[in-house]
Amino acid sequence: MPIKPWFSSRPACSLLYLDCYAFELSGTKNEVIAHWGLFDPATVASLVIHHCPALEMPSTLTEFSRLRALKLYNSTITSWQEDAAISQRHHPNLLMLFLARVNMTNGDLPAGLYRELLPQTLRDIEFCVTNLRSLPEDLDLTWPHFATIYLEAGNLTEIPQSLVRLASFDLSLALNPIATISTSILEGNDGYLHIGGTLISELPEIVDNVSPTLKIRLDNTNISFFWNWTDPMVANANGGDGDGIPTLLAPNTPYCTDLERIYGGEQTSISAPQHEGQSLLLSDASVENWPTLERTVSCEQWPATYFPIESENEHSRIKSD
């Protein structure tokens, strides 16, 4: 039963859920305002929007002063202007922002998602299966630094420098059509980088200031060898002990195909042509070096994205009667 807080004429609601399909709505501003207006926005902690074919985010979003989580699923954003911006000013407690199966106009980030300074508490931003194709050049002026940012299964063809400058501790660009990885995303990075499912076939040849604690996912790419700048990472590898994440995760790559054949006795060497500056530690297929290879590189299958899109699809799909 909704509880009406003191000094408010509207009932409280911790989780406010808008399902445009269930309510036979498109998601226009007037429709959203009418639905949200039934509850006291100052009491809402989680705001969920599903199945809106033409979502126009209203400025009343700024009234959700205690919002901690915002999630959009299976919706098309036609308008999200600055007057409805997510911001430190209006949402000082926001922790999580999730967009899954969401389309944006022209594949551009809506103004309401970057024009104002985002909440300092926002440490988890996850997009998965979107048409996002670009990021603003000044994104690093408003988005949180050193955060978890997943921009997965989108249309990015390169890594924007504004994203690099955010220095995300945990960054996933999985399943984007990115063919080249810049050195800047690797230099000084001591966190986690997921570039699996991209179009890359080779990492940059020269990378300075490589952190030995950097961990990279390269699964489902055409990577067949590693350069010697990875050697400090190899020396620090612990087989995933501690956080459970291997230093290099590379299933469904030519490199892991080689390793599996080597471990199975079907071949005795890495098949990729030798390159000057190649990592000798990760090119040595001798039995004596197997412990190093096994400690550093995992060929175990992982879900393609960090965002749990399959379970989200099952949980949030349109359910027929």
What is the mean predicted confidence (pLDDT) over 298-316? 97
Q: What is the largest CA-CA distance in the chain?
A: 76
d(CA 315, CA 95): 22
- Burial state string for 117-151 with b = 16 or more CB within 10 A and e = fewer than 16: ebbeebbbbbbbbbebbebbeebbebbbeebbbbb
Residues 253, 224: contact at Cβ < 8 Å?
yes
d(CA 285, CA 245): 23
* Residue 75, φ and ψ in degrees, nearest 5: -140, 155
What is the mean predicted confidence (pLDDT) over 61-82? 98
What is the mean predicted confidence (pLDDT) over 267-289? 96
Band of residue 80 on the pLDDT scale cut at 50, 70, 90: very high
Q: What is the pTM of this model?
A: 0.94
Residue 295 reports pLDDT greater than 50: yes
Residue 181 reports pLDDT greater than 70: yes
Residue 2 reports pLDDT greater than 70: no
Domain ranges of the chain: 1-126, 179-301
Give the per-residue pLDDT at 6: 47
Residues 305, 153: contact at Cβ < 8 Å?
yes
What is the mean predicted confidence (pLDDT) over 205-211? 95
Task: State the CB neighbour count (10 A cutoff) for residue 304.
Answer: 19
Locate all alpha helices (DSSP H) within 93-209, ordered by sequence.
161-165
Give the per-residue pLDDT at 321: 58
Give the per-residue pLDDT at 239: 80
d(CA 65, CA 56): 20
What is the mean predicted confidence (pLDDT) over 251-279? 97
Residue 290 reports pLDDT greater than 60: yes
